[in-house]
Structure 1
Amino acid sequence: MDENGNGRHGIPGWSWWGLASCTQFVWGMSSYRKGYAGDSRLMPFKAFAVASLFVSSAASASVAALQASGIHKVEDLLEMGTKVRTGLGIPPTAREERVDDL
């Protein structure tokens, strides 16, 4: 990845995460719709595999959304949360006050 957040061939890094999310979701939906065929002893494995595709799709979409919004580190997320709280007029939490005192 370069300094602009672009990955291979100049494509933004978050778009790869979005592509992974869509692929996992489509694969999960096709596996779910296809149903189960085969040995019944393997049915729990297939159910776990399909559920894992949906969970990983949500995780990939979350990473894509965070990277697309410019949040790349935990510090960026904490800073954004502080800005939202002050914008809403909510006083700082006790933890934020202790960190400011140091």
Structure 2
Amino acid sequence: MEEKEENSVVGNGVVQRYWFWGSASAVQFWWGVAALKRGYAGNGNLMPLKAFTVASLFVGASTSAAVATLQLSGIRSVEDLKSVGANIRNSCKTTR
């Protein structure tokens, strides 16, 4: 059986457990913007590698932000996500 982990919440309501996902997202996004602004000066044969690297930084930043959002909202498993979806569908049915 799996034990449920509890978040450590500070008095002001900030969750302290998964802060690194948000930090990773911010750093990757900043690094991607810096690499994009810097441009490319060098051998033209390596330009596709630079473009792939910058795109990977933006994809990684969005993925880290999504994980941070899911973790902070309390969604820890697929079952949690299914129950949230079921609640949204039920609330949409009752409003019509």
Same fold (TM over 0.5): yes
Q: Report runs of 4+ in structure 1 exceeding 6 Å deviation.
A: none
User: 1:87 Cα shift?
Assistant: 1.1
Which of 39, 46, 59 does residue 43 from structure 2 map onto?
A: 39
Which of 26, 32, 48 does residue 28 from structure 1 map onto?
A: 32
Q: Residue 12 in 1 paired to residue 17 in 2?
A: yes
Larger radius of gyration: 1
Find the aligned partners of 2:7 and 2:22 in 1 and give their Cα distance.
Answer: 14
Corresponding position of 2:81:
77
User: 1:3 Cα shift?
Assistant: 2.5
In structure 1, give the amino acid aligned to 2:35.
S
Count of aligned positions? 85
TM-score, length basis structure 2: 0.81
Find the aligned partners of 2:21 and 2:7 in 1 and give their Cα distance.
Answer: 13
In structure 2, give the amino acid aligned to 1:84.
I
Structure 2 residue ranges without an equivalent (≥5): 9-14
Find the aligned partners of 1:11 and 1:86 in 2 and give their Cα distance.
Answer: 32
The one-character-per-residue Cα deviations of 1:63-99 (angstroms, maximum 9, x if unpaired) are 0000010000000000011011111117xxxxxxxxx
Percent sequence identity over aligned pairs? 47
Structure 1 residue ranges without an equivalent (≥5): 91-102
